[in-house]
Amino acid sequence: MSCIFCQIISGEIPGEILHQDDEVIAFRDINPRAPIHILIVPRKHLAALSDLTEEELPILGKMAGIAKKLAEGEGISERGYRIVVNCGPEGGQLVPHLHMHLLGGRQLSDEMG
């Protein structure tokens, strides 16, 4: 199994896990781009947003709900935060396993790309 996120999900390699349920886990990004940088990841290996079927789309709502709760837990709800889903090469997706970034804890750039 070569997917790095599948390896974290299976426990083969460590991750600082902040949430897990039957469908989704969340752990801190190893190379944080903000004081709070958490990845929200479906357990199922779904490669990218562009690959999701209609039936798979609801996972995004679940991931967003977990991001919201994690932001509350990290104490950044009031200040604000950003969630990002990179998709494909030009979208900057490096790990080919669907994930949502939760970024916060500082004023984020207004650049969107």
99 is catalytic: yes
**Token pair for 34:** 């903000």
Q: Does 46 bind ligand AMP (CB under 6 A)?
A: no
Residue 93 interacts with ligand AMP (CB under 6 A): yes or no: yes
Q: Which residues contact 47 (CB under 8 A, 6 or more apart)?
A: 96, 97, 98
E strand or H helix at 20, and its extent?
A: strand 17-20
Question: Is residue 88 a contact partner of residue 24, using CB atoms and an 8 Å limit?
Answer: no
Residue 112 interacts with ligand AMP (CB under 6 A)? no
- Establish if 31 lies at the interface with ligand AMP (CB under 6 A): yes
Task: For residue 90, give both structure tokens.
Answer: 């030009």
Q: Are 72 and 34 in contact (CB under 8 A)?
A: no
Residue 15 contacts ligand AMP per CB under 6 A: yes
Q: Residue 70's Cα: distance from chain center in Å? A: 11
Smallest distance, ligand AMP to C-beta of residue 7, A: 8
Query: Annotated catalytic residue: which of 37, 45, 99, 101?
Result: 99
Report the residue number, 4 or 77, with the smaller CB distance to ligand AMP.
4
Residue 48 engages ligand AMP in binding (rule: CB under 6 A): no
Q: Which residues bind ligand AMP (CB under 6 A)?
A: 4, 15, 27, 29-31, 39, 86, 92-95
The set of catalytic residues is 99
